[in-house]
Amino acid sequence: MYSIAIDGPSGVGKSTLAKALAKRLGITYLDTGAMYRAMAWKALSLGIDPNDEERVKTFVDDVKIEVKYKDGVQQIFVDGTDVSLAIREHHMSKASSDISRHNCVRTKLVAMQREIASNQSVVLDGRDITSVVLPHAEYKFFLTAKAEVRAERRAKELEAKGNVVDFAKILKDIEERDYNDSHRANSPLTLTPDSVLVDSSNMTAAEVLEYILGFIKEE
Ligand code: DC
């Protein structure tokens, strides 16, 4: 049994990489960002501002977040409702970044993530996996890319789906989330000294996958 921990900023391709790794290695993938997004969905569904810690506290203990897998694809449920698609809406990115600052939210979700990782081989991706959730993971990676490159990739994805793209706005959103996620007091995004730093600015997703696989002995 072994764990692979991957951290990095928004839009760097962590989940694409982690999914592909899990598939190649035949292990479980846990997208921890989806759990923060699920918490944000709950707050918004109650009309609660994700920044309002006192009001967020009123539901965190009782809300039931469940991670399930259907044909190998992660699904996420909040109090029995499948929110897998709803949490991907654009406004959920900022809301999840905001709610992820609160200790009460992190304590609950980190415990769930450790529980999932405790009895099977896993690959987890997020912001605090190498530093807090699984500091003793066998394999630790920090995936990064320049903000402009991440914004360009995001713009291309949106264009491919037929959207009209405002590049400056996409870049601003990414920079804002980078700042938010790496400057919060609780478990900020950090490069731990024992993580392998991978700058994917000039690499394709396939190249990143092969590079990372080169470190994994259990394949
Ligand atoms: O990876 P993502 O964009 O789906 O994550 C949404 C937000 O959740 C992100 O802006 C910061 C937060 N997050 C976190 O604080 N810790 C994690 N392990 C994963 C995500």
What are the tens digits of pLDDT across the range 173-191?
999 989 989 998 989 999 9
134 CA distance to ligand 1 middle (Å): 15
**Rounded to an integer, what distance in angstroms lies between the CA atom of residue 184 and that of residue 199?**
23
Yes or no: say if 50 and 43 are a contact pair by the CB < 8 Å rule.
yes
Quick one: pLDDT at residue 71?
86
Which residues line ligand 1 at a C-beta cut-off of 6 Å?
Answer: 10, 32-33, 36-37, 93, 96-97, 100, 126-129, 177, 181
- Average pLDDT over every residue of 126-142: 97
The per-type count for the chain, helices as H runs and strands as E runs, is: 8, 8
Phi, psi angle pair for 213, to nearest 5°: -60, -30
51 CA distance to ligand 1 middle (Å): 15
| Mean pLDDT computed over every residue of the chain | 95
For the CA of 87, the nearest atom of ligand 1: 4
Quick one: pLDDT at residue 131?
96
- Give tens-digit pLDDT for 2-30: 999 999 998 899 999 999 999 999 999 99
pLDDT confidence band for 167 (50 / 70 / 90) = very high
* Cβ neighbours, 10 Å, residue 39: 27
pTM: 0.93
Strand-by-strand arrangement of the 65-70 sheet: 65-70, 73-78, 81-82
> Which among 100, 109, 134 is the best mutation to test ligand 1's pocket, defined by most ligand atoms within 8 Å of the CB?
100
